[in-house]
A = this chain, B = another copy of it.
């Protein structure tokens, strides 16, 4: 890291900072400029050292050089990773789509939507059994009963399932039922939960927090990777902003940012970003064009009867139409949708 000293500090201060850098196990390289002296501190960079150095007399600020994440970085793993889930593959060359209702409500509605999304080309079924809701008075999901409904559909239709876990106490339970464990945006920095899902053998869908920087999101992936689970799929789902015309602002630039800095696959959730179905298709196509490895889309048989987030759910017809357009855009940028292949 680089330690920038305050203007006009004397030799004594420079030497005491350099001494402390040595004491912390790093090697100091002093450069004196006309106005400022800077000290390069070469060695293993850690945030704690940076904060300790920032607390020293005469230090103006400390600039890190190294990325704080290692296992998630592209420098660690040059090739893009591919995470496979049943017949779906998330990563270079493939585009796969996860779709389904926001929440599991009842067996029939779930089955109806599962058939519809599978037939339109989705390769993984989503559905929430544990729902993180802003209000304690809102529908909180069906819990294990909902997981069982998902398992029944999987068996019947031979489609893998993806569902969220929000509580460390439920990790074992959810792991028993699901193919992909989803960590929602609100849990992105629930580090205890990240650690526990990192100890499972399942692919983890890690959503970006609504106010997380890309580098913080990659640090959360690092929590999972550092437990030995390398199957992390990142998911951009919109960030918080001052714009009130959408629920969250989809940060499409997160896609190339992740691709440049990490080897992990990244998909996009256009539904939670938009917050209204009219914008979902435009955002989904934008995501694919920007290089996303797939999508997760909310679909409901009857959005005006949905127990959760009906405003943003596509109808079955809208979803089928979206899938057709996605195939065209994917082809235009030289990527193929596995399902499309399977269907051919």
The secondary structure that dominates the A interface is mixed
A278's contact among B47, B134, B260, by CB below 8 Å, is which? Answer: B260
CB distance from A290 to the nearest CB of B (A): 4
A289's contact among B222, B249, B285, by CB below 8 Å, is which? Answer: B285
Whether B34 lies near A43 (C-beta < 8 A) is yes
Contacts of A11 in B (CB 8 A): none
Decide yes or no whether A294 CB sits under 8 A from chain B.
no
Whether A139 lies near B48 (C-beta < 8 A) is yes
Considering only residues 216-252 of chain A, those with a C-beta below 8 Å from chain B are 216, 219, 222-223, 226, 239-246, 249-252
Interface string of A300-325 (1 = CB under 8 A from B): 00011111111101000000000001
Contacts of A342 in B (CB 8 A): none
Whether A51 lies near B310 (C-beta < 8 A) is yes
Contacts of A216 in B (CB 8 A): 134
Interface string of A249-267 (1 = CB under 8 A from B): 1111111110111000000
CB distance from A230 to the nearest CB of B (A): 14
Once bound together, how far apart are the Cα atoms of A308 and B169, in whole Å?
28
- Interface, chain A (partner B; CB < 8 A): 2, 4, 7, 20, 29, 31, 33-36, 38, 40, 42-43, 46-48, 51-56, 63, 65-66, 68-69, 75, 132-140, 166-169, 186-187, 189-193, 195, 209-211, 213-216, 219, 222-223, 226, 239-246, 249-257, 259-261, 273-274, 276-279, 282-283, 285-291, 303-311, 313, 325, 328-329, 331-333
Most chain B beta-carbon contacts within 10 A, residue among A52, A219, A252: A252
A290's contact among B63, B191, B214, B285, by CB below 8 Å, is which? Answer: B285
Once bound together, how far apart are the Cα atoms of A310 and B190, in whole Å?
23
Whether A279 lies near B304 (C-beta < 8 A) is no
Whether A279 lies near B306 (C-beta < 8 A) is no
Contacts known (A75-B7, A332-B329); A40 close to B48, Cβ less than 8 A: no
**Those 4 A-B pairs whose CB atoms lie nearest each other, nearest first:** A211-B211, A289-B289, A332-B332, A167-B192
